Amino acid sequence: MQEKAEIRSKYWLAVFLVAAYTIPFAVGIYTENVFFDLQWLADLTTVILNGIMQGGVYAMFAVGLTLIFGVMRIINVAHGELVMLGAYLTWMFFFYVGVDPLLALFITLPIAFVIGLLIQKLLLNAVVGGPELTPLLITFGMGLTIIHIVEAIFTTDYRTIPYAPDAFQLTETIAVSRSKIISFVMAAFISITVFIFLKIHRIGKAIRATAQNADVAMVCGINIFHIYMITSGLAAALAVAGGALVSIQFGFNPETGVLYTLQAFAIIVLGGRGHYIGALIGGVMLAVIESLISFMIPNGTAMVEIASYGMMVFVLLIRPRGLMGPKEN
């Protein structure tokens, strides 16, 4: 019975995803934004490539959120604000110290790791394992506090970092923004490094063991409170790295973190809560659909948020465990 429901939910998810990717094309055809000539196909390829590049960055910061959820069952709604904080840290180092945004990662990531440790130590350790609402409200309050502090310091003005604005011509008609390529390569490098760390390193194994069963991890000698702190530090570092990489592509202000939180949630719901590879796949899938919407639907740029909201809601309804998440008990 359960197996049948599992297979049915898988099929429904497949149907939903096919429909989700078809809708932009259907609307594009209806609104005469789809031409099927060579130039349009080249533009479509460019858009999809840009989406994949963007997805790599989304996936990286979503992995931080999924790690925290997987290890502590905490829904950190301030994750996007840490992404935004990463963008501002990068901006500060770029404009005030003159450090290249990528080189700034060597400074901002350790800072982020310490911020994550402190958040865990001072706010979250006391509520891990308790009712889910408590950490949710704590992180919600923390997110708002970060927004207001950043607003007080930097105002609500949009900031940008001019970095590698030119495009890289793949063919005569297909070009990808250089900053997107750089961001994607960096995100892929960081994601793979974290993946290898989790897979091979002793602490990484302890993180995975704690995620699977914290009680057993404890009787196997793992100090789960240290693991919680390391996980939070790692998640904050991934968020700040994400912030650095989006800051060289898009403008940002203190409110943009909310959108990143939403995107990260949509990604981990799609990929499967607590699942690392699922988050990577979900990130790319979400970014590609966002790109398709903004390319084919009139005024689509303003509608990309619908993709995140819609995907999250429908996947939760159809298959709560997403593509690769563990079975719900």
Q: Which residues bind other proteins (CB under 8 A)?
A: 202, 205-206, 208-209, 212-213, 215-224, 326
Q: How far is the CB of 223 from other proteins (least distance, A)?
A: 5
- How many Å separate Cα 225 from the centre of its chain? 25
Q: How far is the CB of 185 from other proteins (least distance, A)?
A: 30
Q: Which residue has the tokens 């509520």?
A: 127
Q: How far is the CB of 221 from other proteins (least distance, A)?
A: 4
Q: Residue 175 burial (CB < 10 Å; 0-12/13-18/19+)?
A: middle
Q: How far is the CB of 222 from other proteins (least distance, A)?
A: 6
Q: How far is the CB of 206 from other proteins (least distance, A)?
A: 7
Q: How far is the CB of 75 from other proteins (least distance, A)?
A: 21
Rounded Cα distance between 137 and 303, Å, is: 28
Give 193 or 223: the residue with its C-beta nearer to other proteins.
223
Backbone torsion region of residue 75, taken as left when φ is above 0, otherwise alpha when ψ lies between -120 and 50, otherwise beta: beta
Rounded Cα distance between 37 and 297, Å, is: 18
Using CA atoms of 303, 304, 305, 306 in order, give the dihedral in degrees to the nearest 10. Answer: 60
DSSP 252: B
Tell me if 309 sits within 8 A of 262, measured CB to CB: yes
Q: How far is the CB of 202 from other proteins (least distance, A)?
A: 7
Give 254 or 274: the residue with its C-beta nearer to other proteins.
274
Give 10 or 205: the residue with its C-beta nearer to other proteins.
205
Give 123 or 218: the residue with its C-beta nearer to other proteins.
218
Rounded Cα distance between 86 and 240, Å, is: 4
Rounded Cα distance between 40 and 46, Å, is: 10
Which tokens is 178 given?
Answer: 């250089």
Rounded Cα distance between 51 and 45, Å, is: 10
Q: Which residue has the tokens 């790109």?
A: 291
Give 178 or 208: the residue with its C-beta nearer to other proteins.
208
Tell me if 164 sits within 8 A of 34, measured CB to CB: no
Q: How far is the CB of 165 from other proteins (least distance, A)?
A: 43
Give 192 or 216: the residue with its C-beta nearer to other proteins.
216
Rounded Cα distance between 280 and 278, Å, is: 5
Using CA atoms of 290, 16, 41, 250 in order, give the dihedral in degrees to the nearest 10. Answer: 10
Give 72 or 209: the residue with its C-beta nearer to other proteins.
209
Give 137 or 216: the residue with its C-beta nearer to other proteins.
216
